[in-house]
Structure 1
Amino acid sequence: MSRPRKDPRAARAAHLVPGGARPRFDLAALPAASGRPRRDPRAEERLALVPGTLRRRLDRAQRAPALAAAAPASAETVDAAPRLRVIAEPAYLVALVPDAPGGRLSAHDRQLFGAARLLADAGGGAVLAFVEQPGEEFGPAGADRVLALPVSGYDPEAKALALNAALAALDLRHVLFPETADGGDLARRLAALSGEPFFAGAESLSPKAVTRAARGRRVEQRRAPPRLISLAPDAVAPHAGTLHEGLPVALAFPQPTGGAIVSAEFIPADPAKVSLAEADFVVSAGNGVSDLEAFRALAAALRATPGASRMLCDAGLMPRAAQVGASGTVLDARVYLALGIAGAPQHLQGVAKCEHVIAVNTDLHAAMIERAGLAIVADAQKVMPALLALLQQERAS
């Protein structure tokens, strides 16, 4: 054999302090036979603690810079900054029409951008977004071009006519819609106007095939992607990684004519009577809330739907329909405000789909504090009247 034989006596001697029989405790000081520095678990444990204390870090992401600083100088640094991708002359265009409720992209809209990028990147195409108002968030979401429609507000008839004109004037290989109340209606109107084949409720998408379940989910329908497609929720992951320029473009749309819809107005529902499964903003009370009158006043002032943890519902302080969690209602809300809720595993399952989570709790290490994007480490009984005072002050000014 060409490999040198290991000397066990020399290996044991390397583990001893020179001049004594005591073994080394600083394992990082041992000579590495392979040339790679040996991992020091004690150093990693120290990095996991707040300096000067024995308390573990709440934000574990702060360990990454410290570990990078402790790495050897020969290690290569990786630049994780996303790069800007510019497609000057695309081979074709893949268009999408996001709902963008309230002027901002929803999670379903971002999945639509991911599906459009999947179809466009397969053959050197570009993504074109039809929007009501151009903005800065469409480029990072995955749009190469942004085209403003000459229609604002709720007017699906005029919007379908404008999209039909764009479908005839531009080289659009595919047009994607979210399978929602507004997006699905608009897609079907455009299919009726243009006569193009339409695939509704796609549950998986690739450049070669699009599929959906049918007949009570007993069979799967599959075909090549047609020109018009509506995408079901969670069918494709949102776009991530490269940035795109989101360049505004113009198109001469025909003059809109008067349709059947004379005027339309959105009438918001009473948040206190909306089901938790359909609520957009939910405020929940936990075991740390004893003043339920102040909690209901805060929910009404924020125009949010009231919820509760299982402990309050079991005690009869809140109705069973207000229970949030795996054994209650699983939320799909945009904002969730948890007051005095520690965060049991079943409760965390109920808020897993919430986009923004705000937690108020006295325990710094509560599971809900760790789950939240914004945490207030304070007594919920003191935070509620402070929020009510701020809301009243804002309305008076």
Structure 2
Amino acid sequence: MRLRRDPRTERAAHRIDGTARPRFDLAAAAETTGGRLRRNPRAEVERMLVAGTSRRRLDRSQRSVSTPLHIAAPAETAAAPRLIVIEEPAFLVAVVPDAPGGRLTPHDRQMIGAARLLAEKGGAVLALLAEPCEEIGPAGADRVLLVEASTGYDPEGRSASIAMAVDGLGVRHALFPESVDGGDIARRVAADLGEALFAGAESIAANAVTRASRGRRVEQRRAPPRLISLAADAALPYAGAPREARALQDDPMPTVPTRRAILAAEIIPADPARVPLGEAGFVVSAGNGVTDFDGFRAVAAALGATPGASRVVCDAGLMPRAAQVGASGTVLEATCYFALGIAGAPQHLQGIARCEHVVAVNTDLHAAMIERAGLAIVADAQKVMPALLAALECETETTA
């Protein structure tokens, strides 16, 4: 490795002092006193070579540019992000996320991002939750209040408790996701408070909210009211430093006793094998690297996932056309996508762009699907499937 030439330093070394006009002695030898290290591409390629393969392959994650000797190397561990604390907020903006299983959905995160826009001038975001959620602080909430959930399906009791919290705390704005459960709770709270709900807002700012009306021929616009339900993709998630998420009180807020119109209700889970791909939350797909489709279906059944496939598999008739994932098949919005033996064509990657988590199994370290995945296993899918089935059976026997 050698230093790159520094023309300014060489020019200063040739200059003759004591003259009005800049003059230079071109016969003098230039002494290079500065410069930066020149990259050595050959050394970088040697460092990226994957050993033990007959074909020349490079692991580009090992690529690094050498640090010049005169520049201090950055610290290995980055400083922890600063925690934002609001001691005495001027007002509160409440959010009521769905948070199934104590986990925020992308729609919930967008709603909290919208609440941060409304709380810009001295306000704080209050999350009204049915159960604790560890993600709520990084998602942008300053305060947390647990609303005790009654046993069974009781939207009337939950909405009454939320309405009491919104009214009792003097909340300036309350946001709900325009989802199946969130939209139902929003309308019940509006009825309990006797206030109008601005439903299905498609854009939101500190001074205005808008939504489409009359078959999307008219745009309704007004100042943000107290109760708003937000459509999906109407706002960006919060991307700032984590917030404090301080508990507003130690004990959960008790459920308001109500006369229940719904005497009994039970949520019956759907058969994953019959759920349409566009509505599935967990999808396992087979690609060209899968040959044992009986084993693949057994893996999908053991995981409780909906089976899918790449276009190559569907074209070969090994899986039905309705199972095709991709731009020319079904575009997924699943929480988790598990790809077995799929390289990742551009059309297939378009079909999983909205999936929150992607797990991939492929023998090619540099496959596009491996790069897209949050968790990747570089192995043969035919060997991974029986090992996964054995692990699931062992876990079932342990818990039984």
Instruction: Tell me the TM-score normalised to structure 2 length.
Output: 0.84
Residue of structure 1 in register with 2:382 after alignment = 381
**2: CA distance, partners of 1:352 / 1:145:** 32
Distance 1:366 1:234, change over 3 A: same
The CA deviation string for residues 353-394 of structure 1, in whole angstroms up to 9 with x for no partner, is: 111101111111111011111111111111111111111111
Residue of structure 2 in register with 1:242 after alignment = 241
- Return the offset for 1:258: 3.5
3-state SS of the aligned residue for 1:84? coil
Residue of structure 1 in register with 2:23 after alignment = none
Task: After superposing the two structures, state which structure 1 stretch, 276-285 or 254-263, moved more.
Answer: 254-263
Question: Is the Cα contact below 8 Å between 1:331 and 1:354 reproduced in 2?
Answer: yes
**Are positions 1:364 and 2:365 aligned together?**
yes
- Return the offset for 1:69: 4.2
- Return the offset for 1:196: 1.8
Cα RMSD between the aligned structures? 2.6
**2: CA distance, partners of 1:149 / 1:74:** 51
**2: CA distance, partners of 1:224 / 1:45:** 62
- Return the offset for 1:134: 2.5
Q: Which amino acid aligns with 1:223?
A: R
Q: 1:151 aligns with which of 144, 149, 152?
A: 149
**2: CA distance, partners of 1:240 / 1:49:** 38
The CA deviation string for residues 225-274 of structure 1, in whole angstroms up to 9 with x for no partner, is: 11111111111111122111111123765742331122332110000000
- Return the offset for 1:119: 1.1
The CA deviation string for residues 71-112 of structure 1, in whole angstroms up to 9 with x for no partner, is: 853799896642111101000000000001122111111111
**2: CA distance, partners of 1:158 / 1:32:** 77
Residue of structure 2 in register with 1:4 after alignment = none
Q: What are the equivalent positions in structure 2 for 1:1-397 lying under 5 Å apart?
A: 26=2, 28-33=3-8, 37=35, 40=38, 42-43=39-40, 50-51=47-48, 55-59=57-61, 66-67=64-65, 69-70=67-68, 73=71, 81-120=80-119, 122-152=120-150, 154-250=153-249, 255-397=256-398
**2: CA distance, partners of 1:49 / 1:195:** 71
- Return the offset for 1:68: 8.7
Q: Which amino acid aligns with 2:186?
A: A
Question: Is the Cα contact below 8 Å between 1:294 and 1:385 reproduced in 2?
Answer: yes
**2: CA distance, partners of 1:45 / 1:318:** 46
Residue of structure 1 in register with 2:19 after alignment = none
**2: CA distance, partners of 1:108 / 1:45:** 47
Question: Is the Cα contact below 8 Å between 1:48 and 1:57 reproduced in 2?
Answer: no
3-state SS of the aligned residue for 2:164? helix
**2: CA distance, partners of 1:36 / 1:271:** 66
Q: Which amino acid aligns with 2:317?
A: G
**1: CA distance, partners of 2:341 / 2:154:** 43
3-state SS of the aligned residue for 1:244? coil
3-state SS of the aligned residue for 1:114? helix
Question: Is the Cα contact below 8 Å between 2:37 and 2:68 reproduced in 1?
Answer: no
**1: CA distance, partners of 2:237 / 2:46:** 35
- Return the offset for 1:396: 1.4
Distance 1:340 1:97, change over 3 A: same
Q: Provide the aligned length of Structure 1 versus Structure 2.
A: 366
**2: CA distance, partners of 1:174 / 1:220:** 21
Distance 1:76 1:258, change over 3 A: same
- Return the offset for 1:145: 0.7
The CA deviation string for residues 294-348 of structure 1, in whole angstroms up to 9 with x for no partner, is: 1011111111000000011111111000000000000000111101101000000
Distance 1:254 1:330, change over 3 A: closer
Task: After superposing the two structures, state which structure 1 stretch, 152-161 or 319-328, moved more.
Answer: 152-161
**1: CA distance, partners of 2:142 / 2:123:** 10
**2: CA distance, partners of 1:119 / 1:311:** 48
**Unpaired segments ≥5 residues, structure 1:** 1-24
**1: CA distance, partners of 2:42 / 2:116:** 42
The CA deviation string for residues 19-42 of structure 1, in whole angstroms up to 9 with x for no partner, is: xxxxxx95x4201439995684x4
Q: Which amino acid aligns with 1:192?
A: A
Question: Is the Cα contact below 8 Å between 2:285 and 2:339 reproduced in 1?
Answer: yes
Instruction: Tell me the TM-score normalised to structure 1 length.
Output: 0.85
3-state SS of the aligned residue for 1:212? strand
Question: Is the Cα contact below 8 Å between 1:175 and 1:227 reproduced in 2?
Answer: yes
- Return the offset for 1:168: 1.9
| Identity rate, percent | 63
Distance 1:195 1:44, change over 3 A: farther
Question: Is the Cα contact below 8 Å between 1:134 and 1:147 reproduced in 2?
Answer: no
Distance 1:199 1:37, change over 3 A: farther
Question: Is the Cα contact below 8 Å between 2:342 and 2:369 reproduced in 1?
Answer: yes
